Chains A and B, each alone.
Chain A
């Protein structure tokens, strides 16, 4: 008899296992190429802008908002976070984490940390590189770092939960990113409040002064709410994991 495993040990072992399963050459190369493409777009746009400083900044923030926060951050987070526990559930290996004397929340947190560990470099590096290549000053770079990191934390938690809720979480997640965050949220401020992109856009707006669609919240709200979304999603994921019928 061994008793319940201590939380740090449970988180650590889950983190190591999931990280090992998540990092495949195909995923890293594929999503790395998206990052490279984004950086190339940034470089091309940066080269072509020949207007005044304010117009250049406005265009640059628009580019970052579009490529980083509607494509790179949500999609990369989706691929890794949905797979973190979702894949183990579908391939039958979840039993090796579920039937253990470990608290459910420790498994969820370990999986989320693993997803964040892979997603952060694959999102922050290309988006920050893009911001640098756009060459409009440090405000955009700092805003991009903060918003990318917070976006990854929030999206990853949300998509860990999604992976436990539905099969084919990637399809559902893409539907959420494209249809809800991309289209529905653009039509109203109420819908924008339940879209993570509303908060990342607000950080960009607050730090650069460039007014973005959905970016009408304060920087504090833009930082605090994604953190709360992450915590809430992780709590729900732990509850879901506890109630799950494991194959």
Chain B
């Protein structure tokens, strides 16, 4: 349904997306990456809002930038928090329906507002809505034309946990119903709940693609850097090296910074080793467990 082939997008000297290729079929696919990774640029190119510097992007076999009709089969909830603020939610979604040529736009607007749990009779303008409500208005507008391809750029931002759960259920229902649902996120836990297929993008490059659980294993298997604070760093470091649960170590001033590719083994051994040596552990904490580090690892190992 969606194919991206050797796509690069540059803004002057800055390369936002670099030689990315993937295909996406029906079902839900998460595009995971840190802020500034190129997710929104990729989505903009999918929708035809921006043209690639190199490569081709096709949605349902067509180029949304030049093909008017295919734009009617795409639903986009953009990341930016921009709405026609002087309209109420029903008017806003009704306009989305009319601009898509949906028959009976008013009924269609009421139906999708109901799906996203907003009151179609609320007279308040969307300018007075909370961030979460505005997100749901955008979702409703994206759904109103019953699109074949649904592109949702960080759609869960600003939603409370209950709304987030319900929206994830909705995305999964749409994916199960045969629609191609592309959802971007920079939050790993969100992606874990979204579904199985994941595209990881970092520094403008496709770092990994495939099943979420397999990817999660890859992420867990990567070398970890851990900082241990102890009263006898040298003895502890030597003992851990001897037991081969760490790959390298740097000792400085009561602190051991170590690398391990067997984080589980390290976790099991550190306390018994310390007890055996009679050294006091004051702190053990990962220093590269943030998502950025995970993405960097995935990019570098390619």
Contacts from A to B (Cβ < 8 Å): 1-6, 9-10, 13-14, 16-17, 20-21, 91-93, 95-103, 245-247
In Å, the complex CA distance between A100 and B148 comes to 14
A245 and B84 form a contact (CB under 8 A): no
Residue B277, interface by CB 8 Å: no
- B80's closest neighbor in chain A, by CB? A92
Q: Do A92 and B72 touch (CB < 8 A)?
A: no
> In the complex, which residue of chain B has the Cβ closest to the Cβ of A245?
B50
> Which A residues are CB-close (under 8 A) to B183?
none
Q: Which residues of B contact A97 (CB under 8 A)?
A: 99
| A157 CB to nearest B CB, Å | 22
Tell me, in angstroms, the Cα distance from A9 to B82 when the chains sit together. 24
Mark each residue of chain B from 51 to 81: 1 if its CB lies under 8 Å from any CB of chain A, else 0: 1000000000000100011111110101010
Assuming A2-B72, A4-B72, A247-B80, is B101 touching A98 (CB within 8 A)?
no
* Contact residues in A for B76 (Cβ distance below 8 Å): 95, 99
**Nearest-Cβ distance from residue B31 to partner chain A, whole angstroms:** 18
The answer for the CA separation of A247 and B44 in the assembled complex, in Å, is 8
B145 within 8 A of A: yes
**Cβ-defined contact, B84 with A96, below 8 A:** yes
> In this assembly, does B287 line the interface, its C-beta being within 8 Å of a C-beta of chain A?
no
Would you call B299 an interface residue if the criterion is a C-beta within 8 Å of the partner chain's C-beta atoms?
no
Q: A97-B99, A99-B74, A101-B101 are in contact. List 4 more A-B contacts (CB 8 A).
A: A1-B148, A92-B82, A101-B70, A245-B51
Q: Which of B68, B69, B70, B82 is within 8 Å of A93, CB to CB?
A: B82
CB distance from B147 to the nearest CB of A (A): 9
C-alpha gap A121/B152 in the complex (Å):
42
Whole-angstrom CA separation of A10 from B95 in the bound complex: 10
Task: Give chain A's interface secondary structure class.
Answer: loop
Interfacial chain B residues near A21, Cβ < 8 Å: 84, 86
B164 at interface by CB-CB < 8 Å: no
Across the two chains, which residue of chain A brings its CB closest to B103?
Answer: A2
Contact A1 B72 (CB under 8 A): yes
Tell which of A1, A13, A20, A93 touches B99, judged by Cβ atoms closer than 8 Å. Answer: A13
Once the chains are docked, how many angstroms separate the CA of A95 from the CA of B84? 11
Residues of B near A247 (CB, < 8 A) are 44, 49, 80
**B 86-126 contacts with A by CB, 8 A:** 86-87, 95-96, 98-102
- Tell me if B83 counts as interface (CB < 8 A to partner A): yes
Would you call B83 and A9 a contact (CB within 8 A)?
Answer: no
Which of A6, A20, A99 is the one whose CB lies under 8 Å from B49?
A99
Residues of B within 8 A of A101 (CB): 68-72, 100-101
Q: Is the Cβ of A3 less than 8 Å from the Cβ of B69?
A: yes
- List the A side residues contacting B101 at CB < 8 Å: 2-6, 9, 101
- Do A96 and B80 form a contact, CB below 8 Å, given A20-B86, A246-B49? no
Question: In the complex, A92→B40 CA distance in Å?
Answer: 13
Q: How far is the CA of A1 from the CA of B148 in the complex (A)?
A: 8
Given A1-B73, A2-B72, A102-B68: A96 and B44 interface contact (C-beta under 8 Å)? no
| Pairwise interchain contact A103-B98, C-beta atoms closer than 8 A | no
B32 within 8 A of A: no
Whether A93 pairs with B98 at a CB distance below 8 angstroms is no
A93 and B83 contact, CB distance less than 8 A: yes
CB-defined contacts of B82 to chain A, threshold 8 Å: 91-93, 95
Residues of B within 8 A of A9 (CB): 98, 101
B47 in the interface (beta carbon within 8 A): yes
In the complex formed, the residue of A with least CB distance to B78 is A95
Q: Contact check, A2 vs B145: say whether CB atoms are below 8 A apart.
A: yes
Q: Would you list the 4 A-B pairs with minimal beta carbon distance, nearest first?
A: A92-B82, A101-B72, A2-B101, A5-B101
B48 within 8 A of A: yes
Q: How far is the CB of B196 from chain A (nearest CB, A)?
A: 28
Judging by beta carbons under 8 Å apart, are A103 and B48 in contact?
Answer: no
Question: What are 12 A-B residue pairs whose CB atoms fall within 8 Å in the complex?
Answer: A3-B72, A3-B101, A4-B101, A9-B101, A17-B95, A91-B82, A99-B71, A99-B76, A101-B72, A103-B68, A245-B50, A245-B51
